Structure formats: C-alpha cells, structure tokens
C-alpha cells in the first residue's frame, strides 16, 4: 500500500486527524506493517496504541491498550508544578498566578492516577536537571498502568531511582509520608459525556481512567482532602479537570482547607488545572 493509498484510506474514516496520522504512519512504518497499521487506524483505533508510544513534554512514552493516552493539555500540569518550584522561566498566562516556593534543596512529590507516568516522570526529570534532589511517588490502581509507568521511568528518567511506582487506590487508601506538592489527572468524564465521546476514545481507552461519576467529580474531594493532610506547610496540589468543572473543583479545594486556590486555562482558553496552596502555618 502506497502512502497515497494510506492517505485516501484514512481520509475516508471521517477522523479529523486522519491526514496527520497517515503521514506519521508512513514515516514510522513500511510494507505489511504499514498496511496493517493503516487498516487499524481506519477502524478508529488511536494512533498511540498502534505505534505503542506517544510524545509528551520532552519524552517519548510507551503506551499500550488499557492505559490512558497522554494528551497535550495535560502538559499544563507539568508547567504548573514547575512554576510552583520556580523552574519555569517561560511561564505565561494563568500559570504566572501560581505562587513560587523558594529555598528547597530536596523535593518530594506524588503523582496520583499516574497512568503512563507522563506527568510525574516529566516533572522529576526537570527537577533533577535543575540540580535539586527529587523523590517522586507515582500511584495508580491499574496493573497495566503500573507496568507501563515502571517501564517509562526506566526508559526516560535520567535517574530511574528518583521515582517509585506503586499500586494505590486513592479512594480507599491513605497517602504515606509528606510531600512538597501533589499532582493528579484523575478520571473526570461524566456519565453522560461518556456516551458522547469520540469512538476512538470510547471504544479503545480504559473507562477506569476516564469515568468520574455522574458529575465527573468522584475523585476530587478525596484527592484534595488526602493531599491537604499529606502536604508540608506551604505545599501545593495541582489537579486536571474538565473544562466545565472549574468552579466545582475550586470549591472542593477550598473546602479541603487550601488557603490559596486558582485555576489555569489551557491554550484553548478552557479552565483545565486547579491548584491549591496549603497555608504555611
């Protein structure tokens, strides 16, 4: 199958990204492997699952079916955490509203619902590159996610010993130890939105990593309450959420006890990441 035939096949799938995906497939594969991959993509299977990887921040992360595919919008969580640490010199927009902490020489953080590990691994690499000592705890309830996050930690981290990947159910278990900050991209798709998702998401990506209950907020009260208890004074929490959930998520963050609360908009001008700072004492 020629590249032209691949383009024609995928353009007929009705997928808006088909043309881009076709070019990527033609760049990475050839021969029979290309034909098989194109047929899979034409049926709606996400490109990341077909190729087995997806770029995020500065790394190329392994992705397998059963684990959520990293999205560009989620890079905003990384930006927020780095801004808080004073390590994001190019920060713009709402990210600049996040107060920066100073005087840290050692950083301990947690990444809840880590999936591929893309958020926590990216943050750990940036902290390490800045010269600070870092320890990250990456948690998930999914065995598939844990396996993939462990692989990515070894493959992408400049210091694989900087993070620990563990199985943990945030809804029913306490966080162990104290942290300078906590990040999370939990499931937040509402029950009604699940029915409206694109087929490439609804039919292929894991509901466990998507479904957040009737209002999409099942995880936030728990995450904020347990983060508040586990953060050092002056510590911060950063949580991604849906574009219509900002007000409700901010209220849950305040209710948990965080003194300063705000929300950062993504590049589409949608409220995307809510942050909270624990009072210093």
Among the residues of the chain, which ranges form H helices? 3-11, 18-28, 31-42, 47-51, 75-84, 118-129, 143-156, 191-196, 199-202, 220-230, 246-255
Which string of DSSP letters, residue by residue, matches 224-240?
Answer: HHHHHHHEEEEEEEEEE
35 in the same domain as 70: no
Give yes or no: residues 104 and 181 share one domain.
yes
Is residue 237 a part of any domain in this protein? yes
Determine the Cα–Cα distance for residues 108 and 119; give it in Å rounded to an integer.
Answer: 14
* Percent of the chain predicted with pLDDT > 70: 94
Asked whether residue 36 is domain-assigned, the answer is: yes
- What pLDDT, in 10s, does the model give residues 165-209? 999 999 998 888 999 999 999 999 999 999 899 888 999 999 999
Q: Are 117 and 67 in contact (CB under 8 A)?
A: no
> How far is it, in rounded angstroms, from Cα 3 to Cα 34?
9
Total-model pTM: 0.94
Q: How far, in Å, CA of 274 to CA of 96, rounded?
A: 13
Is residue 107 within 8 Å of residue 132, measured between CB atoms? yes
pLDDT at 17 (0 to 100)? 72
Please state, rounded to an integer, the average pLDDT across all residues of the chain.
93
Same domain, 25 and 102: no
Co-location of 148 and 30 in the same domain: no
120 assigned to some structural domain: yes
Q: Residues 70, 140: one domain?
A: yes
Domain assignment of residue 50, yes or no: no
Residue keyed to tokens 């209950």: 213
Residue 231: is its pLDDT beyond 80? yes
pLDDT digits (tens, 9 = 90+) for 232-270: 999 999 999 999 999 999 999 999 999 999 999 998 999
Rounded to whole angstroms, how far apart are CA atoms 57 and 59? 6
Question: Do 35 and 74 share a domain, yes or no?
Answer: no
Q: Helix, strand, or coil here: 184?
A: strand
Task: Identify whether the C-beta of residue 276 lies closer than 8 Å to the C-beta of residue 260.
Answer: yes
**Do 82 and 37 share a domain, yes or no?**
no
Residue 9 pLDDT grade (very low, low, confident, very high; cuts 50, 70, 90): low
Looking at the domain assignment, is residue 215 inside a domain? yes
Q: Residue 16: what pLDDT? A: 62
Q: What is the pLDDT of residue 2?
A: 63
Q: Which among 62, 66, 100 has a CA at the least distance from the CA of 81?
A: 100
Band of pLDDT at residue 214, cut at 50, 70 and 90: very high
* 118 touches 107 (CB < 8 A): no
Interior angle at CA 265, CA 84 and CA 91, nearest 5: 40
Determine the pLDDT at residue 35: 86
Task: Tell whether 7 and 137 lie within a shared domain.
Answer: no
| pLDDT for the residue numbered 21 | 85
Q: Are residues 34 and 161 in the same domain?
A: no
Same domain as 7, residue 137: no
- Residues present in the chain in total: 281
| pLDDT confidence band for 8 (50 / 70 / 90) | low
Q: How many domains does the chain have?
A: 2
Statement to judge: residues 140 and 40 lie in one domain: no
Find the domain containing 25 and state its range.
Answer: 3-44
Q: Is residue 267 part of a domain?
A: yes
Note the pLDDT of residue 67: 98
CATH of the domain at 233: 3.40.50.150
One domain for residues 28 and 125: no
Mind listing the pLDDT tens digit for each residue in 17-60? 777 888 888 888 888 898 899 889 888 899 999 999 999 999 99
């Amino acid at each position: 199958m020629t590249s032209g035939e691949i383009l024609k096949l995928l353009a007929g799938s009705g997928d808006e990204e088909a043309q881009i995906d076709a070019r990527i497939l033609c760049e990475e594969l050839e021969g029979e492997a290309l034909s098989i991959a194109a047929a899979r993509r034409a049926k709606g299977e996400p490109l990341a699952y077909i190729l087995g990887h997806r770029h995020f921040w500065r790394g190329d992360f392994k992705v397998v079916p059963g684990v959520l595919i990293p999205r560009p919008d989620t890079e905003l969580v990384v930006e927020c955490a780095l801004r808080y640490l004073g390590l994001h010199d190019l920060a713009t927009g709402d990210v600049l509203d996040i107060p920066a902490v100073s005087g840290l020489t050692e950083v301990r953080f947690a990444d809840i619902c880590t999936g591929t590990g893309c958020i926590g691994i990216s943050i750990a690499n940036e902290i390490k590159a800045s010269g600070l000592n870092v320890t990250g705890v990456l948690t998930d309830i999914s065995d598939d996610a844990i396996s993939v996050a462990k692989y990515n930690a070894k493959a992408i981290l400049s210091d694989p010993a900087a993070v620990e990947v563990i199985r943990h159910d945030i809804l029913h278990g306490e966080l162990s130890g104290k942290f300078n900050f906590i990040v999370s991209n939990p499931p937040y798709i509402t029950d009604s939105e699940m029915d409206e998702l694109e087929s490439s998401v609804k039919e292929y990506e894991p509901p466990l990593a998507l479904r957040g209950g009737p209002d999409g907020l099942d995880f936030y009260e728990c995450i904020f309450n347990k983060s508040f208890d586990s953060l050092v004074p002056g510590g911060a929490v950063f949580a991604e959420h849906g574009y219509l959930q900002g007000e409700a998520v901010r209220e849950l963050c305040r209710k948990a006890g965080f003194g300063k609360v705000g929300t950062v908009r993504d590049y589409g001008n949608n409220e995307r990441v809510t942050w909270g700072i624990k009072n210093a004492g």
